[in-house]
Amino acid sequence: MRLALLSCLALALPLTAAAEAGTVDWQRKVVKCTGTGAPNLQAAGGNVAVARIGAERSAKLDALRNCMEALKGVTVRSGETVGGALSGTPGLKASVEGVVKGFRVVGSPRYFSDGGVEMDVEVPIEGKLSDLVMPKGGGEEKAPPASAEGPGTGLILDARGSKISPALAPRILDENGKEVYGPGLLTAEARKWNGAAYARNLETARRELSSRVGEKPVVMKVLRAQGADAVIQNSDADVLRRGQTFLAEGRVVIVTD
């Protein structure tokens, strides 16, 4: 099943992180922002209805600015943010802005008696946006061959108590700091849907995210977190290194609380 569908079916409790200009919902993989437009009654000749049209345009531009600002704070992987990627890659900002312009207005805009408008919008961080900002290769691990088989259908990482930070491209490291799983391992399609889903408890990871990790997921305990990276026991790392196709497909769920 396409990983896009797997992600859409994930219905765990909201995992949100406040951003300066908006909120990142890591469960739903969206950035939520609000845009506000003030009316210019003088330019509209005192006509509130005309002023409201201009206010709506202003609100959409404000939402675009706020969403771009919020995105800058999104973690791509430990030590790297979308903002850093935008500043370090020529032309990337224009491409990302082009995707953000397609934001979805959530609910009905709020209209005020003076002609002002306020609207809530959402921008998915999966799909095109993820593909733009995810690291292009450079990982230590390579995708296992298609024939590789493993002991499970997916991976659930129990990171409760580790204070792991959600990210677009989380990595799994062994106790020596060697990468076991990262963006360089993902297939081209899996890159669009990020490196992992996030859930608040094991029950949610098993039941409501079963379409992502399958019926027989492997459960491993995280020893500690290094920002967005999860450190696991060397013995568990050896199991994953035997060649799990589910890793290349991004069939990973991280339990955070």
Tell me if 140 is assigned to some domain.
no
Tell me if 148 is assigned to some domain.
no
Tell me if 229 is assigned to some domain.
yes
Domain end (from 85, 103, 124): 124
172 plus 102 within the same structural domain: no
Q: What is the pLDDT of residues 109-159, one digit of tens each?
A: 999 988 899 999 999 998 899 889 988 764 444 545 444 556 789 999 999
161 plus 116 within the same structural domain: no
Q: What is the pLDDT of residues 32-78, one digit of tens each?
A: 999 999 988 777 677 878 888 899 999 999 999 999 999 999 999 98
Residue 81 belongs to domain spanning:
30-124
105 plus 184 within the same structural domain: no
- If one counts the domains in the chain, the total is 2
Tell me if 10 is assigned to some domain.
no
CA distance to 11, 191, 207, 209, 244, per residue, from 204 (Å): 8, 23, 5, 6, 23
169 plus 251 within the same structural domain: yes
91 plus 159 within the same structural domain: no
185 plus 96 within the same structural domain: no
118 plus 161 within the same structural domain: no
Sheet holding 224-226, edge to edge: 179-181, 172-173, 229-231, 224-226
pTM of the model: 0.78
78 plus 159 within the same structural domain: no
Tell me if 18 is assigned to some domain.
no
Cβ-based burial of 102 (10 A; exposed 0-12, middle 13-18, buried ≥19): exposed
Q: Give the chain as a DSSP string.
A: --HHHHHHT---S--EEEETTEEEETTTTEEEEEEEE---TTTTTT-HHHHHHHHHHHHHHHHHHHHHHHHHTSEEETTEEHHHHHHHSTTHHHHHHHHHTT-EEEEEEEE-TTS-EEEEEEEESSTHHHHHHS--S--SS-PPPTT---S-SEEEEE-TTS-PPP-SS--EE-TTS-EEE-GGGS-HHHHTT-S-EEESSHHHHHHTTHHHH-SSEEEEE-SEEETTEEE--HHHHHHHTTT-HHHHTT-EEEE--
Q: What pLDDT shows up at residue 205?
A: 87
Tell me if 78 is assigned to some domain.
yes
Positive/negative CA dihedral, 40, 41, 44, 50 = positive
Q: Residue 88 has which token pair?
A: 């370090």
Tell me if 188 is assigned to some domain.
yes
Domain end (from 84, 103, 124): 124
Sequence letter at residue 106? V
Domain end (from 108, 124, 140): 124
249 plus 159 within the same structural domain: yes
Is the separation of the CB atoms in 214 and 117 below 8 Å?
no
Mean pLDDT of the chain: 85
158 plus 251 within the same structural domain: yes
108 plus 159 within the same structural domain: no
Is the separation of the CB atoms in 189 and 3 below 8 Å?
yes
State the Cα–Cα distance between residues 152 and 240, nearest whole angstrom: 10
Higher pLDDT, 141 or 199: 199
112 plus 162 within the same structural domain: no
Higher pLDDT, 193 or 214: 214
* Phi-psi map region of 246: left, alpha, beta (phi>0 left; psi -120 to 50 alpha): alpha
Tell me if 133 is assigned to some domain.
no
